Amino acid sequence: MSPTDKFHLARKTPAMTLTDFEPNLDMDKLCRYRLGRVREKLAAQDLAACVLYDPINIRYATGTRNMSVYTMHAAERYAFIATEGPVVMFDSYPVGTPTIVDERRPAQIWYYEVTQDKTFDACRDWAVEIADLVRQYGGGNNRLAIDRMATLGYGALQKHKLTLCDGGSVMEQARLIKSTEELACMSVAVAACDVGMARMREALRPGITENYLWSILAQTNIELGGEWLECRLLASGGRTNPWYQEASDKLIRGGDLVAFDTDMVGPYGYCADVSRTFHCGPSKPTVRQKQLYRLAYEQVHHNLELIRPGVTFRELSDRSWRGPAEFEENRYVCMVHGVGLVDEYPDIAHPLDWDSHGYDGVIEENMVLCVESYIGQTGDSEGVKLEEQVVVTADGIQSLSSFPFEEDLLK
């Protein structure tokens, strides 16, 4: 694949502001596509409706956003979506109603902080309202999917003779295949991420802290209309091995490797999940640092070349890159994973992990995947994290990011 083809989507990033001289994103079309996917998957499982509490799922299905991070732990916002009927949005804090929401109601709150000794009564009233909606729009079908909810709610709904089903799997399957509008939104999010990474690379010098460097990405994301960072995965020097150490007030020293994973929920609510490892000058990288980097680069690009529509997860795993045995114990948790609004289905396991938690499926066109690598020997002083985010096309893949790899580490 030529560089021009590889970065076609990255170079075609649409503007984020309205103009009168070029096409703009059709957000109504995007929202209706996503709602249609949800209803398609509900119908396939003979479900009357779903209740969504996860703010990521609510955003996908309804096109609405309101205090997403807060409502990840405070159950004050939920949606009822009938397979054949209305979208009803329950919200504690009124915001403008987009066209895709048919009705807005005040949320019934029943978690302990707010209701204390009235929790059971509040939960009972909530269940009555949900059950009434199922009866009204279910056509005699009492099968209701729920993505995430406190335990008390299940018993309250079952008293109304509802059959409760897993809504998480419904939503993961719905979110799997991206529309043209979704891909445009993701291109904008990754473009914002590329800007943040460029600013980080420019700011990298001995004496700054990991926290300072990480804050540049967070600031850029908010400045360009993004929302939050899923974690704080940036480490330098000896903290790059093992992986999964979050940014700290450690000073970055000359000669350090600096590895990070963006996990950035950017503009339009879409995730930019790209990993890079920098080398902090002014010294040149060591022979060992170059070895680690080349292996990670080789793993990512070998596995990228395997991705095509019709390839099964098992085939991808079986044909995947096999590196030196000394790096196997410290391997990344998965080989490939899906991404959309956040990390999504599927997680494709390494061959070594297939028997314990691998599962099969098929790569399809318009899936968006992240191809992962972490190379760091157990007990060693440093490691390298790399990751590419790509769209599956009819004849292969296209990268969403155009951010380069480190030339000094590939020499």
Give yes or no for a contact between 277 and 385, defined as CB atoms under 8 angstroms apart: yes
- For residue 403, how many other CB atoms are within 10 A of its CB? 19
Instruction: Give the tens place of pLDDT for each residue, 247-266.
Output: 999 999 999 999 999 999 99
Instruction: Please name the residues in contact with 204: beta carbons below 8 A apart, sequence gap of 6 or more.
Output: 213, 252, 258, 278, 280
Q: How far is CA 37 from the centre of its chain?
A: 18
Give yes or no for a contact between 181 and 266, defined as CB atoms under 8 angstroms apart: no
From the list 353, 348, 337, 332, the residue with the least C-alpha distance to 241 is 332
Q: Alpha helices, DSSP H only, in 151-233?
A: 151-158, 167-174, 180-203, 210-223
Instruction: Tell me the residue type at 88.
Output: V
Distance (Å, whole) CA 58 – CA 51: 9
Residue 68 DSSP class: T
Q: Is the dihedral of CA 344, 348, 353, 356 positive or negative?
A: positive
Per-residue pLDDT of the chain (411 residues; tens, 9 = 90+): 343 455 566 666 777 665 666 667 889 999 999 999 999 999 999 999 999 999 999 999 999 999 999 999 999 999 999 999 999 999 988 776 667 899 999 999 999 999 999 999 999 999 999 999 999 999 999 999 999 999 999 999 999 999 999 999 999 999 999 999 999 999 999 999 999 999 999 999 999 999 999 999 999 999 999 999 999 999 999 999 999 999 999 999 999 999 999 999 999 999 999 999 999 999 999 999 999 999 999 999 999 999 999 999 999 999 999 999 999 999 999 999 999 999 999 999 999 999 999 999 999 999 999 999 999 999 999 999 999 999 999 999 999 999 999 999 999
From the list 367, 378, 369, 290, the residue with the least C-alpha distance to 334 is 369
The predicted pLDDT at position 96 comes to: 64
Instruction: Tell me the residue type at 169.
Output: S
Report CA-CA distances (Å) from 115 to 51, 105, 111: 21, 19, 6
Distance (Å, whole) CA 28 – CA 34: 10
Instruction: Locate the DSSP E strands across 211-263.
Output: 228-229, 234-236, 257-261
Give yes or no for a contact between 119 and 108, defined as CB atoms under 8 angstroms apart: no
Distance (Å, whole) CA 306 – CA 396: 8
Helix (H, G, I), strand (E, B) or coil at 319: coil
Cα angle vertex 107, ends 103, 108, to 5°? 130
Which domains, ranges and CATH numbers included, belong to the chain?
Answer: 27-174 (3.40.350.10), 180-410 (3.90.230.10)
Q: How many helices (H) and strands (E) does the chain have?
A: 14, 17
Distance (Å, whole) CA 178 – CA 181: 8
The predicted pLDDT at position 17 comes to: 65
The predicted pLDDT at position 93 comes to: 81
Residue 209 DSSP class: B
Distance (Å, whole) CA 226 – CA 119: 35
The predicted pLDDT at position 14 comes to: 73
Q: How far is CA 10 from the centre of its chain?
A: 18
The predicted pLDDT at position 7 comes to: 53
HSE-up of residue 257 (Cα within 13 Å, Cβ side) = 29
Helix (H, G, I), strand (E, B) or coil at 365: coil
The predicted pLDDT at position 313 comes to: 98
From the list 51, 339, 72, the residue with the least C-alpha distance to 168 is 51
Instruction: Tell me the residue type at 189.
Output: A
Give yes or no for a contact between 408 and 300, defined as CB atoms under 8 angstroms apart: no
